[in-house]
Amino acid sequence: MEFRNLLALVEVVQQGGFSAAASVLFTSQSNVSKAVRQLEDELGVTLLDRNGHSSTLTDAGEIVFRRAQHILASSEDMMGELDELRGLRRGILRLGLPLFGSSVLFAPAFAQFRTLYPGIKITLVEHGSKRLEELLMRGEIDLAASLMPVSPEFEWQDVRNEQLVVLLQETHPFARYDAVQLLDLHDEPFIFFAEDFALNQVIMRSCARRGFKPKVAARSGQIDFILGLARAGLGLAILPKLMADQRMRSGLTYVPLNEPGLSWHIGLIWRKGGYLPHAARAWLELVQTIHTEAD
pLDDT tens digits, residue range 185-233? Answer: 999 999 998 877 888 888 999 999 999 999 999 998 888 899 999 999 9
What pTM value is reported for the model?
Answer: 0.68
* Amino acid identity at 254: Y
Mean residue pLDDT across the chain? 87
Which pLDDT belongs to residue 293? 67
295 pLDDT higher than 80: no
Average pLDDT rounded to a whole number, residues 50-66? 85
Q: Taking residues 263-283, what's their average pLDDT?
A: 89
- Burial of 73-99, coded b for 16+ CB within 10 Å and e otherwise, reads eeeeeeeeeeeebeebeebebbbbbbb
Residue 210 CB: number of other CB atoms within 10 A? 16
Asked if residue 135 has pLDDT above 70, the reply is yes
CA distance 295 to 283: 18
Q: Check residue 257 and report its DSSP letter.
A: B
Q: Is the pLDDT of residue 21 over 80?
A: yes
Give the pLDDT mean for 134-150.
88
Which pairs from 281-285 meet CB under 8 Å and 24+ separation?
Answer: 282/88, 282/93, 282/113, 282/116, 282/117, 282/120, 283/93, 283/95, 283/109, 283/113, 283/143, 284/143, 284/157
Which whole-number Å values give the CA distances from 184 to 92, 119, 137, 176, 192, in the listed order? Answer: 48, 53, 40, 13, 17
DSSP code at position 176: G
pLDDT of residue 235: 93
Backbone dihedral angles phi then psi of residue 218, each to the nearest 5 degrees: -165, 160
